[in-house]
């Protein structure tokens, strides 16, 4: 799916409700079959690519009732709600009232109705999204002059009409734009509405959040999924006025924010989120080898020429959760602690050191999403990093640890100075510890907590032993042979570098399924048994770590199964790491 496809301004896009009204409805409940509806729209527009993409840059240009796409992460799933789904006319026929916030005044007063259920979702731009991974917005059609207040639109083909003030203005005031834009920025105060993480280096202006209403015959996504919603844009400012007059309760207000602050979509289709790096399948071995060498070169440059540290950092980038087992924990990803890093001075909104900023720039250049945070006392104690439910509005307040799967996490301990952590700071460290150990985050619902599975490899920079101690799987002292990269010079270099091939390589190898053939498994088992006989300190956790490194190293070379040669390379690599962690005293 190409996110930059040019939209076709056909009636199915400009007036989708008219297209829906032309389809047959059920005589029993007035519903339009959702599969037939999707097929009819696809026949008209050609593909979902042709539906214009809604972003913060163009949201003011689309009139109410336009068919649009919105790509985002499911940040909150609100309680299901009831609404009028169909109205019966005097002749006994049913008219669908789905996919819209208001029906026309031609409906008879007191007519029978069908009550249906829908699920409100709140979508935001995935936290830490890199500039290059953001889909290109569509250019809205040329705006038409708004009708005079109190006037009427011409009646559509389906006979429906709406008040003129329901038409969204082509231009929104700067104050309204600023108000709406605040939903797309991460708040620095506790208890604010869910917002986007701008803590990573080079973060672009975040797209606005979006309320999505999912009818009961559409399968709703799950929390933290990245999806593309195709739906009908609803901008109805008078509903906000009605809500204020009715003194609507906080929970209902939370699921129906004013459309001047947050646009809303009535979903017609929910698709998997598009990959920002569509990779050829399969990549030729020569392309994999070249891209891997370039990746190692860039990471080594950031780390002062430390090729071994660059190798282990690459394993972080290609890791993902393949499975979860009670006896072995998470399989397919790990955590890395680069120790011996120079003490740094916290700088920027993420409070990162110079090395932390340079590494954040590299992650942003290579990976679609990365969240980078300095572990300063002020950062840890300012607000909870775990998501929690606001009991008044029943909205989920976003924390920094709420991320989409596949997000790289960088924690910089080198900026930490003496200070005292309050209760929030202690709980934040505990939440990070749980994420590292189990790849789960506990969501706080006041009277209970619910563990949500994550897939976020964690890399920690520290001067000495990390605060997370035994939670981290791999520890490696940094041994630079050249000066560490400066953020300013690295940023200039990255701006002139073409990294598309490297990004495709990383996306392709992360998607590989991995197996260990039986004949190689016999060799591995023999070597591990021999190692345990020689060293009683080797634990099952050590063996799990070694197998995980073997999996990641093979995957980084584009190999879907472990070979005897790659197993030998893993053992050699681990010996080098062990020698650096436990240097032999000089005579």
Does residue 5 have a pLDDT over 60? no
Residue 475, φ and ψ in degrees, nearest 5: -120, 135
Q: What is residue 288's predicted lDDT score, i.e. its pLDDT? A: 95
Q: Which of 117, 114, 118, 116 is nearest to 27 (CA)?
A: 114
Q: Residues 43-51: what's their mean pLDDT? A: 89
Per residue in 481-511, pLDDT tens? 999 999 999 999 999 889 999 999 999 999 9
- Pick the more confident residue, 497 or 160: 497
- State the pLDDT at residue 399: 93
Q: How confident is the model at residue 235 (pLDDT cuts 50, 70, 90)?
A: confident
Q: Which range, of 330-339, 399-408, 540-549, averages the lowest pLDDT?
A: 540-549
CA-based nearest residue to 355, from 296, 306, 427, 288: 306
State yes or no: cis peptide before 460, omega within 30 of 0. Answer: no
**Is residue 246 scored above 80 in pLDDT?**
no
Per-residue pLDDT band for 278 (boundaries 50, 70, 90) equals low
* Three-class SS state of 208: coil
Confidence of residue 394 (pLDDT cuts 50, 70, 90): confident
Q: Which residue has the higher pLDDT, 47 or 358?
A: 358
pLDDT band at 516 (very low <50, low <70, confident <90, very high): very high
Confidence at residue 142, expressed as pLDDT on a 0 to 100 scale: 56
Residue carrying structure tokens 């935001």 = 124
| Predicted pLDDT of residue 329 | 79
User: For the chain, percent helix, then strand, then coil, each to nearest 5?
Assistant: 35, 20, 45
Distance of alpha carbon 375 from alpha carbon 404, whole angstroms: 21
Distance of CA 539 to the CA centre of its chain: 36
All domains in the chain, ordered by first residue: 11-77+121-272 (no CATH), 285-500 (3.40.50), 512-587 (no CATH)
What CA–CA distance (Å, rounded) separates 50 from 70?
A: 13
Q: pLDDT tier at 358 (50, 70, 90 boundaries)? A: very high
Q: What is the mean pLDDT of residues 402-424?
A: 93
If one compares 356 and 391, the residue with the highest pLDDT of the two is 356
Lowest mean pLDDT among 136-145, 233-242, 501-510: 136-145
Please count the residues of the chain.
587
pLDDT of 239 reads 65
**Cβ(122)–Cβ(211) below 8 Å:** yes
User: In terms of Cα–Cα distance, which of 432, 460, 486 is closest to 309?
Assistant: 460
- The residue-averaged pLDDT of 391-396 equals 85
How far is Cα 142 from Cα 7, in angstroms, rounded to an integer?
A: 13
Written in H, E and C, the secondary structure of 224-261 is CCEEEEEEEEECCHHHHHHHHHCCCCHHHHHHCCCCCC
Give the whole-angstrom CA distance, residue 546 versus residue 528: 9
Reported confidence tier of residue 294, pLDDT bands at 50, 70, 90? very high
* Mean pLDDT value across the chain: 82
The pLDDT value given to residue 349: 87
Rounded distance between C-alpha atoms, residue 260 and residue 339, angstroms: 48
Residue of 341 and 535 predicted with greater confidence: 341
pLDDT of residue 541 exceeding 90, the answer is: no
Quick check: 50 pLDDT over 70? yes
Residues 6+ apart with CB under 8 A from 440: 434, 451, 452, 453, 454
Residue-wise pLDDT for 444-460, tens only, equals 988 888 999 999 999 99
What's the pLDDT score for residue 242? 56
**What is the pLDDT at residue 205?**
35
pLDDT of residue 200: 45
pLDDT score of 185 more than 80 = no
Q: Is the pLDDT of residue 160 over 50?
A: no
* Most confident of the following: 15-19, 315-319, 520-524: 315-319
Residue 543 has pLDDT above 50, yes or no: yes
Contact 87, 111 (CB under 8 A): yes
**Where does the pLDDT of residue 384 fall: very low under 50, low under 70, confident under 90, or very high at 90 and above?**
very high
What is the mean predicted confidence (pLDDT) over 533-549? Answer: 83
Which of 244-248, 346-350, 373-377 shows the lowest mean pLDDT across its residues?
Answer: 244-248
Mean pLDDT lowest for which of 99-108, 198-207, 343-352, 461-470? 198-207
- Report pLDDT for 8: 65
CA distance 215 to 116: 8
If one compares 331 and 558, the residue with the highest pLDDT of the two is 558
pLDDT digits (tens, 9 = 90+) for 317-338: 999 998 888 766 788 898 999 9
Q: What is the pLDDT of residue 321?
A: 92
For residues 22 and 373, which has the higher predicted lDDT (pLDDT)?
373
pLDDT at 57: 80
To the nearest whole percent, how much of the chain has pLDDT over 70? 81
C-alpha distances in angstroms, 87 versus 20, 65, 433, 481?
15, 20, 54, 74
Give the distance from CA 529 to its chain's centroid.
42
């Amino acid at each position: 799916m190409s996110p930059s496809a040019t939209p076709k301004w056909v009636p199915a896009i400009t007036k989708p409700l008219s297209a829906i009204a032309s389809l047959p409805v059920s005589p029993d409940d007035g519903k339009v079959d959702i599969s037939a509806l999707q097929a009819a729209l696809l026949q008209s527009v050609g593909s979902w690519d042709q539906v214009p993409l809604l972003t913060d840059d163009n949201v003011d240009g689309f009139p109410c009732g336009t068919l649009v796409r919105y790509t985002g992460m499911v940040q909150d799933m609100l309680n299901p709600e009831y609404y009028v789904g169909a109205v019966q006319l005097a002749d006994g026929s049913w008219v669908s009232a789905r996919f819209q916030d208001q029906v026309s005044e031609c409906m008879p007063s007191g007519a029978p109705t069908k009550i249906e259920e829908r699920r409100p979702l709140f979508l935001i731009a995935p936290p830490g999204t890199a500039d290059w991974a953001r889909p290109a917005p569509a250019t809205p059609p040329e705006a038409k002059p708004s009708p005079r207040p109190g006037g009427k639109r011409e009646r559509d083909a389906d006979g429906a009409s709406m008040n003129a003030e329901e038409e969204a203005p082509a231009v929104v005031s700067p104050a309204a734009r600023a108000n709406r834009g605040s939903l797309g920025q991460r708040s620095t105060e506790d208890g604010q509405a869910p917002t986007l993480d701008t803590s990573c280096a080079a973060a672009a202006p975040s797209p606005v959040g979006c309320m999505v209403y999912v009818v009961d015959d559409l399968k709703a996504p799950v929390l933290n999924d990245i999806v593309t919603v195709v739906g009908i844009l609803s901008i109805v400012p008078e509903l906000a006025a009605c809500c204020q007059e009715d003194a609507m309760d906080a929970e209902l207000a939370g699921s129906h924010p004013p459309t001047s602050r947050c646009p809303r979509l009535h979903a017609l289709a929910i698709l998997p989120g598009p990959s920002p790096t569509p990779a050829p399948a399969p990549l030729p071995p020569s392309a994999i080898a070249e891209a891997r060498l370039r990746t190692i070169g860039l990471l080594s440059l950031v780390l002062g020429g430390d090729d071994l540290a660059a190798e282990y950092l690459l394993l972080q980038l290609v890791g993902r959760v393949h499975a979860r087992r009670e006896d072995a924990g998470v399989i397919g990803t790990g955590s890395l602690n680069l120790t011996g890093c120079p003490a740094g001075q916290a700088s920027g909104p993420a409070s990162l050191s110079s090395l932390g900023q340079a590494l954040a720039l590299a992650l942003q250049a290579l990976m679609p999403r990365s969240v980078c945070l300095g572990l300063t006392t002020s950062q840890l104690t300012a607000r909870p990093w775990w998501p929690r439910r606001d009991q008044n509005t029943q909205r989920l307040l976003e924390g920094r640890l709420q991320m989409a799967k596949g997000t790289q996490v960088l924690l910089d301990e080198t900026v930490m100075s003496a200070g005292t952590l309050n209760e929030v700071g202690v709980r934040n460290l505990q939440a990070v510890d749980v994420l590292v150990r189990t790849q789960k985050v506990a969501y706080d619902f006041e009277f209970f907590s619910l563990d949500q599975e994550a897939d976020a490899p964690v890399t920690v920079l520290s001067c000495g032993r990390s605060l997370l101690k035994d939670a981290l799987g791999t520890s490696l002292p940094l041994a630079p042979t050249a000066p560490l990269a400066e953020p300013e010079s690295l940023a200039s270099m990255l701006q002139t570098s073409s990294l598309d091939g490297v990004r495709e390589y990383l996306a392709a190898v992360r998607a590989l399924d991995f197996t260990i053939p039986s004949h190689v498994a016999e060799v591995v088992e023999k070597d591990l048994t021999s190692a345990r006989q020689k060293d009683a300190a080797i634990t099952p956790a050590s063996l799990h770590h070694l197998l995980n490194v073997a999996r990641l190293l093979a995957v980084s070379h584009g190999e879907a199964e472990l070979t005897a040669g790659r197993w030998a390379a893993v053992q050699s690599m681990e010996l080098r790491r062990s020698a650096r962690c436990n240097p032999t005293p000089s005579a």
